Structure 1
Amino acid sequence: MPIPVDIKVRICILLQFLFFFEPLFSQKEDISDYYKIKKNYENSLENDSTVLPLVQKFINKARHEKKYVKLVEGYKDGLLYSHSSERKLKYADSALWAAKLTKDDKLIGRAHTSKGIVYYFNLKKYNPALNELLIAYDYIRKSDDQYYKNKVAYLLGVVKSYIGYYEEALAMFQQTKQFFEEEAAKDQHPNLVYGNKRGYYNSLHQMVVCYRNLAHQKLADSITDIALSGIGMDEDYLQERGYFLKEKGISLFYRSDYINSLKSLQEAISCISPVNDFSWMTLCYSYIGKTYKELGNSDESLRYLRKVDSIFNTHHFILPEARSSYEILINHYHDKGDIQKQLYYTTQLIKVDEHITRDFTYLSSKIHREYDTKRLREEKILLEQKVHRAMWLNRILYILAVVLIVYLLFRYRREHQFREKYRLLEQKILSGGTHNIIDQVTEGAENDSGIEIRIRDDILKKLQEFEEKFEFTESGLTLPKLAIRFDTNQKYLSSVINESKGMNFNRYISELRISYITKKLYNERKYLHYKIETLAEECGIASRNNFSDLFFQINGIRPADFIKKRLADLNKEGKDDGGMY
């Protein structure tokens, strides 16, 4: 039955529609593919490096398809979930490279922002951080993206705050706080609300830091209380809660409320440590150490103050505010009379001051120092002299004593083992049983190989003659060669040797050769003066190393040691060179 005309027209229209919108469907499928990968890790915690294989899958797909916008997204995900600061920087560099391929100013600016964040937050390198953020701001200000403009302004404020320009930084934080607060109140996607709330709380935190350093503690306390009340126990803002608990703990410390200060600071550490913000963790450790000192708990005080030093050794960074930890440690060990630890922390404080001068040029001149650099260096020299006078001689004597004891023990053990092995070997030689292969043939041994007795006996007779004439000393001897010489086949010869001698052909020849040369070394003094290479050739072994290894495997001692001991025995006996004994 023919298809009606109107149906044909509808089919044509449908086919044209599908053909025209095929790219859209393909694009939707592509996006769906990226989403399928990303949904497996997008809700993971920051710094969770276990999801990086999934992120790499996302990156590989984007790189293969040359979708550079997606590639930027993938590299930024890698930055987010990497735990290592160095790896974060690599991902930031890759994101910047991919962003430049898009030729999108907004993406390029954001990539510079990400790199700046890694520099200041993870690596604490403020000069390169400032450089990246200024470049980012130059790109972002061309766009109408107010969120990113304020984000970069916030980051610039952070850098200014770190280096001590608190009033300038405070003005920037007041601006960003207002923007993020207004944006967070809007009816938006949950991800946008989350980002704006974080911007709001982080701006508040930095305002608190600025107010505290500008000696406006009441304002700082008021903002801290507002922020903690707003965050509550919301796990989405655990990091931000930690920052405000840190500020609360510091404020309580200066109000001499040491018990509550400890509680607040320790809770702050549990919130901050998952993101590895070691700069603020160091400050928490410093104040906890000082708090325990005020409470009279010296052991706990020292434990936390040493954590400050541990982080400094790992990251080569410390906030100026934590510098006093070293002064406390120096004074403590001075009072205890522990010169070595006093010297160590004096040296560390000199290093700390060098880093503070480099990283916080403006602040370094404003820090109250109980120990200035000149005095520290003078004390270090005096301490070093005391340590050298008190410890140098004892240290040398101790090391020499340990080395001597270890050497004597090693030598005694080695000599004892060697003498025992040599004695056993000598007994075998004197009894005529030193690996005597001929003696190993058992009369009437069972014929398990299935070889005719006549053939077997003929091979055994030829083997005996082979041993007695020392034909095994021929170099390059192999199973095929010996089988031809015995007028038999390899299989028969190998079976007879395995059955009658209890070993394979190679081991059989090695035993004969080593037994032969061992007897020569023991009975004929001239052999004791031969080089190892000559001894190897004498018994048919081509390699010096192979000879030495086989001699050790079979006799239990090295040929050089055997020769040395045999010569010593002969000298004790007063025997002359040459001849048979």
Structure 2
Amino acid sequence: MKIKFLILLLAVCNAWHAQTGNIKDHSLEKRTYKEMEQDFYSGGAEDLNSKRYIAEYYLKKARAEKNTSEIAEAYVMLHFDQPLPVALKYLDSLQTITKNSKENIYPARTYLLRGNLYFRTENLQAALNNYLLGLKFAKEKGYKRQIAMANISIAYLNNYIGKHAETAKTLRHYAYNADYMNESERQLLKLNLADAYIEINKMDSAYILIQEGLQNAEKNNDKYGRHQNLGLMGYYHLKQKKYNAAIDDLAPCEKFYFDKNNQNKRNQNYTLLYLGQSYEGLRNKEKAIGYFTRIDSMVLKTNYLYPELRQVYMSLINYYKVNNDKEKQLYYVDRFLKVDSVLDSQFRYISREVPRRYDSPKLEQEKESITNELQNRKTLFYIVLSCLLISHLLFINVYFKYKKTEKKYKKIAQDLIQSVNENKADKEYEVKDEIMPLHLPEESHDDKASKVISEDIVQSILKELEIFESKDQFLQKGITLGSLAKKIKTNSRYLSEIINTYKGKNFATYLNDLRIDYAINRLANDKKFRSYKLTFIAEELGYNNEQAFTLAFKKRTGTPLSIYLKEIENMKLI
């Protein structure tokens, strides 16, 4: 099938149709290389002679300065719009001078430019060979933009042999995912993508892109871009058999492309082709044959061949056969055979070489990439599996430790409850020695106390402490060593000494132990008290908050309060 639109050039898309002042009127002597490049590529020159003047001066300056990089750029400029032999000589010079270049763009740039040159002169075999070499060297240098250009160019050749879906896939990728493409390049990609969509019958997608192109051309006052999209809209309507709409779109294109300032053989040929096919659809044979005859004349003049020419010549042959014009019928049969022979040769070569030299290596690369990805996934799977196994083992270990600790806590709680049951008859609260060590040996009490405090005072304080304990005065909130000493009419030093000597602990521990021992007994025997919220229970026991109570309980008993309460319920004491 067709490749209607110009391929993206590696260096830049050169615009030949700008209307500005003649560059010869300006001195180039003081201009930088960059400024001259901008004039050459942006259309700052009015005509080809002005562009050639820039390129020749560019080369002269670069040679005088012995600037190899800029000499190479001059050869690129000079090869444009030259006859094939001359253009090839400039590119050969480019290849020679950049042979030892360390720039990433070489040697791939040379091969891609040469591929574009062969493509424009219809030598598709040579174009493909150079695109493949350009792709090879671009991949070696890792230059994404050149890789993209090569892949896009080969996609157009795939379109030529009917692989429209593959072409659309490649163009779509670079049109929307390549941030190194400029806006004009993306618009050209979308134009060709719309054409591929029409070929694979994705008409809605094609229409959206064509409308976008028309709006963009209107916004930028781009007449050339407008007529490119208008011509494609004509093809869109032709495929939908809306022949009059197609003619309305294509008629302005015919006028535009045959103007001397806008001539392009591809656009001219396809505009005439679609007009002829539209009139053929309307059964206006004479009008259609008029366009097809003009196409044959252009082919003879330019030798520009494309697959749809077979349809053109078959229509001409059938027309003159019906009209019994043997001479013209024979002429167009001969023309058909010559054109078909060339097209067939190109088609067979591209059809054979693209799969062998492009698709297969690409598939091998994809296979390697997939294999590596699967291997990485496998490695990741084993790592994750190992982590899960380790986590599982750690969980099991923690679980068994927890169960072991829980069993220990339950045993302590059960012993506490049993101790409460054994001391119901107003016995002193006691907890097993290994759980609640309460007293120091008493043999040295008298000796220790008598050294600093008289026996009468000792006995008096001990009696007051007995009252303090028996009447549960330790449940009052805010009790301190000083406040208790004042209450029992002694001083803090005496009280602290007596508690340390006779109770075997400091005041804070003494107070906490009394409260927790009380809690142990009351929680086990008082169901209503046990049903209260822990915040209330903590306040009843003289603690400021629930946390202080639960921490004191575990420190005193060796088991959490929650397990103690649970065991009380399990043993059904009440």
**Counterpart pick for 2:217 among 215, 231, 251:** 231
What does the per-residue CA deviation read over 1:246-296, in whole Å, with 9 as the maximum and x for residues that have no partner?
221112123333333123223345565656542343222111112234445
Match of 1:355 among 331, 338, 342: 342
- Aligned counterparts of 1:31 and 1:103: Cα–Cα separation in 2: 28
The answer on whether the counterparts of 1:283 and 1:319 sit within 8 Å (CA) in structure 2 is no
Equivalent in the alignment of 1:264: 249
Q: CA deviation at 1:70?
A: 0.8
Describe the SS at the equivalent of 2:305.
coil
Q: Distance in 2 between matches of 1:346 and 1:361?
A: 22
The answer to whether the aligner puts 1:311 opposite 2:298 as a matched pair is yes
> What are the ranges of 5 or more consecutive residues in structure 2 without an aligned counterpart?
1-27, 353-574
Q: For the residues of structure 2 that align with 1:107 and 1:364, how far apart are their CA atoms? A: 29
* Residue 98 of structure 1 pairs with residue 97 of structure 2: yes
Which residue does 1:58 correspond to in 2? Answer: 58
Is the contact made by 2:231 and 2:249 (CA closer than 8 Å) also made in structure 1? yes
Aligned to 1:484: none
Map 1:360-379 to 2 at 5 A: 360-361=347-348
Residue pair 1:92, 1:111 contacting (<8 A) in 2 also = yes
Secondary structure at the residue paired with 2:105? helix
Write out per-residue CA displacement over residues 472-520 of structure 1, whole angstroms, 9 at most, x where no aligned residue: xxxxxxxxxxxxxxxxxxxxxxxxxxxxxxxxxxxxxxxxxxxxxxxxx
Contact 1:164 1:362 in 2 (8 A): no
For 1:489-500, list aligned pairs within 5 A: none
In the TM superposition, residue 103 of structure 1 has moved relative to its aligned partner by: 4.6
**Secondary structure of the structure 2 residue equivalent to 1:320:** coil
Whole-angstrom CA distance in 2 between matches of 1:34 and 1:357: 45
Residue identity in the other structure for 1:323: R
Q: Is the contact made by 2:279 and 2:288 (CA closer than 8 Å) also made in structure 1?
A: yes
* Conservation of the 8 A alpha-carbon contact between 1:37 and 1:57: no
Q: Which residue of 2 aligns with 1:344?
A: 331
The DSSP-based 3-state class of the residue aligned with 2:43 is coil
Contact 1:228 1:244 in 2 (8 A): yes
| Structure 2 counterpart of 1:243, one-letter code | Q
Matched, 1:119 2:118: yes
Cα deviation code 1:154-173 (max 9, x no counterpart): 22211222222223222211
Query: Greater helix percent: which structure?
Result: 1
Q: Distance in 2 between matches of 1:339 and 1:250?
A: 32
Residue 83 of structure 1 and its aligned partner are, at CA, apart by 5.7
Conserved 8 A contact 1:317-1:355: no
- TM-score by length of structure 1 reads 0.50
Separation of aligned partners in 2, 1:45 and 1:303: 39
2:147 to 149, 152, 156: 149
Alignment check: 8 A CA contact 1:283 1:322 kept: no
Pairs within 5 Å for 1:69-88: 69-80=69-80, 82=81, 84-88=83-87
**Cα distance per residue 1:352-381 (max 9 Å; x no partner):** 21122112238999xxxxxxxxxxxxxxxx
**CA drift at 1:297:** 4.9
Q: Cα gap change, 1:139/1:364 in structure 2, threshold over 3 Å: closer, same or farther? A: closer
Corresponding residue of 1:198 = 184
User: Is 1:325 aligned to residue 324 of structure 2?
Assistant: no
* Alpha-carbon offset, residue 349 of structure 1: 0.9
Partners of 2:307 and 2:172 in 1: CA distance: 24
The structure 1 residue matched to 2:229, chosen from 241, 244, 262, is 244
Conservation of the 8 A alpha-carbon contact between 1:47 and 1:83: no
Counterpart of 2:199, as a letter, is N
What residue number does 1:216 align with?
202
Q: Does structure 2 conserve the Cα–Cα contact (< 8 Å) formed by 1:75 and 1:95?
A: yes
Distance 1:123 1:47 in 2: 25
- How far apart are residue 348 of structure 1 and its match? 0.6
Give the C-alpha shift of residue 206 in structure 1.
2.4
**Does the 8 Å CA contact 2:104/2:143 hold for their aligned counterparts?**
no
The equivalent of 1:397 in structure 2 is: none
Question: Which residue does 1:521 correspond to in 2?
Answer: none
**Structure 1's 85 and 276: CA in aligned 2 closer, same or farther, altered over 3 A?**
farther
Partners of 2:88 and 2:250 lie apart in 1 by: 30
Distance 2:46 2:104 in 1: 28
Q: In structure 1, what residue type is equivalent to 2:99?
A: K
**Any conservation in 1 of the 2:272–2:295 contact (CA below 8 Å)?**
yes
The 1:307/1:200 distance shift into structure 2, 3 A limit, reads: same
Question: Given residue 326 of structure 2, which amino acid in structure 1 is its aligned partner?
Answer: I
Distance 1:309 1:61 in 2: 46
Instruction: Give, in angstroms, the shift of residue 347 of structure 1.
Output: 0.7
Shift of 1:240: 4.1
User: Which one has a bigger Cα radius of gyration?
Assistant: 2
1:563-578 pair list within 5 angstroms: none
State the match for 1:68 in structure 2. 68
CA contact (8 A) 1:109 1:139 kept: yes
SS in 1 for 2:66: coil
Q: 1:150 to 1:47 in 2, by over 3 A?
A: farther
Cα separation, 2, equivalents of 1:248 and 1:104 = 42
Query: After alignment, is 128-137 or 356-365 more displaced?
Result: 356-365
CA distance in 1, matches of 2:76, 2:255: 26
Aligned partners of 1:266, 1:322: CA distance in 2, in Å? 20
How many angstroms apart in 1 are the aligned matches of 2:254 and 2:74? Answer: 30
Question: Alpha-carbon deviation of 1:339?
Answer: 1.8
**1:253 and 2:251 correspond:** no
Q: CA RMSD in A?
A: 3.3
2:171 maps to amino acid? F
Counterpart secondary structure, 2:98: helix
- Could you tell me which residue of structure 2 aligns to residue 4 of structure 1? none
CA distance in 2, matches of 1:31, 1:107: 29
- Structure 1, 136-145 or 84-93: larger mean CA deviation: 84-93
Separation (CA, whole Å) in 1 of partners of 2:308 and 2:63? 45
Letter in 2 for 1:56: E
User: Could you say if the C-alpha distance between residues 37 and 170 of structure 1 is closer, same or farther in structure 2, counting changes exceeding 3 Å?
Assistant: closer
1:32 Cα deviation after fit:
4.0
* 1:71 to partner: Cα distance: 1.4
| Separation in 1, partners of 2:295, 2:313 | 9
Distance 2:44 2:254 in 1: 17
2:308 aligned counterpart, secondary structure: helix
Question: What is the rounded CA distance, in whole Å, between the counterparts of 1:40 and 1:46 in structure 2?
Answer: 6
Percent of aligned positions that are identical: 20
* C-alpha distance in structure 1 between counterparts of 2:215 and 2:138, whole Å: 34
Say how many residue pairs are matched: 322
Secondary structure, in 3 states, of the residue corresponding to 2:49?
Answer: helix
1:38 shift after superposition: 5.4
Q: Which residue of 2 aligns with 1:170?
A: 168
Q: Is the 8 A contact 2:76 2:90 kept in 1?
A: yes
Cα distance 1:43–1:297, how it changes in 2: closer, same or farther (>3 A)? same
| Equivalent residue number for residue 461 of structure 2 | none
1: distance between equivalents of 2:86 and 2:351?
Answer: 31
How far does the alpha carbon of each residue in 1:32-84 deviate from its partner, in whole angstroms, 9 at most, with x for none?
A: 4546765765543799422213322222332344322111211222234x264
User: CA 1:209–1:42 in 2, change beyond 3 Å: closer, same or farther?
Assistant: closer
Task: Evaluate the alpha carbon distance shift between residue 242 and residue 105 of structure 1 in structure 2; reply closer, same or farther with a 3 A threshold.
Answer: same
Partner of 2:270, secondary structure, is: helix
Structure 1 residue identity aligned to 2:93: S
Long gaps (5+) in structure 1: 1-28, 184-194, 366-581
Paired AA for residue 298 in structure 2: I
How many angstroms apart in 2 are the aligned matches of 1:362 and 1:111? 23
TM normalised by structure 2 equals: 0.50
The change in CA–CA distance for 1:40 and 1:318 in structure 2 (over 3 A counts) is: closer
Aligned to 1:319, what secondary structure does the other structure show?
Answer: coil
What is the rounded CA distance, in whole Å, between the counterparts of 1:155 and 1:95 in structure 2? 21
